[in-house]
Structure 1
């Protein structure tokens, strides 16, 4: 077995007459023995005695433990946050105001520079009253693959060929379409397989939908039209009717409701004379 040893010189100080002496510890089999050298004199001791020596030294000179790590802060300097009032609690007029973390204090307290009110405020706020602002999606750049989300070209993948240099809304030009187009009508096409699967799954919108025939310039609803609860179901019904019956069918969605209880009109009593 290889020799395992440590050797060092003690530092001189007044309690050892300002002398340095050599300390040596070594063994080729820690399970059998340990050689202990002190100032040129070496003794061999049993492993149990070596462990006892170790324990006694630790009692005299306890190991210094690393300080406990501070709990992770919910926010860091520079984070964008929004003040959220709790029912019955919170500073008046602060709900919804946006700010930026300036300093991180102890126990989840922060100095936050709020804007958007009558004047800017630097306020000490606890994390209970703060919510992280959503991360704004990045704008498109030249070369991005994007998918049209509305209109006749819905679902078509195109390439961004130019971005507007000045418009705040970030209009883009794409191959296959002329003129400038608003970014909100496109979505970024990702190579992430998980996102690709999500994109392939159609979005189902719920509500109340009717399929109504269009004859000339007028709509001709059925006497008892079926109410569909998803747009996919209504669209499929419109396609089926157009294929089997012929004609043009549109899908209507209920977007507003007004109601009140019907008045109860008591029956009129008549008396024979």
Structure 2
């Protein structure tokens, strides 16, 4: 950049002016723009709506059958206790995060747009965080109708459901989802194959939901290490949800576990993305 003096000679602008020009937009506006872009891509994706329709079609049949059984037994008040223990809940926890995240970075790598994105005036962590947060927002949106159904049934049937217990149950589902979404973004960063990214994330989710409980039940007596027992307790996601969140109890240790695990996988994803610059 040069300034033209009155004498007609060109004068170089100060070095600081040439090297410290601000990037377009503030950090917050850049992140918001990236989140909006990713969230909009999920909203207009046919896969998202097909997933939504299939899940709630299946869930609708489950809930209808469950409600009829409790109505015949004259115990509608206990309906919420089993409402979130249905198979569709498990499918939403295990299958939705991998499907939502399988294309986040894998598709960018396959199309070559990731390199273009990395040369834009945005930081690697901003890209990774934006993709994860957009999928988390969509994941939350998928659970909204489920919660709305309970509120509608409470008003229609004129019964009083334990809203506090229900709220902590959903909190647990959202915390588990945030971690599995971070895992999904991480696996998506490792490959340019969306199917492989999705399958890897599903295997991790299934393992996380089953292995710690199996080890805790069958091998706890053989684990002499206090750290080993503590790790199994913290990693037993099913036990967290069934015996704590589902009963209206919130343990800050469990919350810290999910937040820390989410942060860890996002950190690993950033490192994977950064490593592409050195290849």
More helix by share: 2
Using CA pairs under 8 Å that are at least 6 residues apart, name the structure with larger relative contact order, 1 or 2: 2
Larger Rg: 1
Q: Normalising by structure 1, what TM-score?
A: 0.18
Structure richer in strand, relative to its length: 1
